[in-house]
Amino acid sequence: MSENQPSDWPTWLVAENDSIKSSDRWRSPRSFDANGPVGILDGQTVVSFASNDYLGLTSHPAVKAAAQDAIDRWGTGSGASRLVVGSRPIHHELELNLARWRGTESAVLFPTGFAANLGLLATLGGRGVVIHSDELNHASIIDGCRMARSNGAEVLTYPHLDLETLAANMESHSDARQVVVTDSVFSMDGDVAPIAQLAARCARYSALLILDEAHAVLEPIQPPQLSGTTIVQVGTLSKTLGALGGFVAGPTVLVDLLVNRARTYIFTTAPSPADSAAALAAIEILQSDEGAALRDRLRSSVDRIRPDHPSPIIPIVLGDEAAALRASQQLLERGLLVPAIRPPTVPVGSSRLRVALSAAHTDEQIDALLDALNTLETDGG
């Protein structure tokens, strides 16, 4: 045992917690009693600009009614994994509609988007495989790459959106089976990947392109074939669709392999019928005139805060952790919940406020946010 490491678990646990506290990075969840953007936090009524419920569908009457009907028919849980009779008709119906929505041959449900990335990358990863991953990809992709590496794959991380480095890395591994994996919209910066260019590079080397579409509410759905490469889409039901779960959409041959190989599909309880029914109802809304109106409203709100920004995730980078925490507290005192994002979620020196907009925000709430942000700028951030 190292001299610097305690030999018993209780001492180690206390020391680890103390090290987080001493670095001023201690975090704990807060209870937010809300149904939509407005709720009660620590006894105060606040408007949340922290949620990824981009279209406000968590509170949509049709989405809630679908979940309630599913509970009446199938109960609150699925009771088993999909392959041990945990599958319900609603799961299969949702998978069919996910595939139609995403324009692919097939789709498969996972308990979360995190589990979808883990299962997909671990299944694809093995000897003779090289996975290229953007350095700012979501933690679920990073952990999926780790699992792929443990299965024998080589993982190369390229600088954020650096297509030249990616091209050089792919050229030097041209004899391998290659995968490029990227967020389509990055969750902390709200910027977007150059998908057409990535697809062209993948086509040159017969590589798979995996797109994590979790935050791509304003982005067009990418065709499953682009520039001659195959695109595999990973998504979540918990953001644009306002429910809970994840999916992989792509060729049937890939989906069939995931059903038989992905450990995060095989060895976990199936998603609840209520969540699956809610997601199915949300897809129907999304593809209707109402869905188009919700996206238009969201687009308009984004433009009011930051014109032409490509997503509802708007970072206000302050750099210093203390400055970000102070700014978040100032906004909270004005009844606005805008979280401070700091390391290890973002790199040191890039602490920020992360504004997440929703179609459910009213014009008055956007006005209040704009006024408060202008005050922060006047005060020097």
Provide the H-helix boundaries in the chain: 9-22, 61-74, 89-102, 113-124, 139-150, 163-172, 195-204, 252-261, 263-266, 273-286, 289-305, 321-333, 363-378
What are the φ/ψ torsions at residue 317 (nearest 5 degrees)?
-80, 120
List the one residue out of 359, 375, 350, 340 whose CA is nearest residue 301. 359
Q: How far apart are CA 84 and CA 151, in angstroms?
A: 26
- Residue 117 CA to residue 264 CA, distance in Å, equals 9
Give the separation between CA 365 and CA 105, rounded to whole angstroms: 41
Tokens 């995931």 map to which residue? 258
Residue 34 has φ and ψ, to the nearest 5°, of -150, 155
**CA–CA distance, 181 with 158 (Å, rounded to integer):** 11
Catalytic residues: 187, 215, 239
**Neighbour tally for 15: CB within 10 Å:** 12
Closest CA to 193 of 178, 213, 174, 170: 213
Whose tokens are 């001023």? That residue is: 24
Which of 295, 300, 276 is closest to 285 using CA atoms?
A: 295
Rounded CA-CA distance 212/141 in Å is: 9
Nearest residue to 189 (alpha-carbon basis) of 11, 325, 346, 23? 346
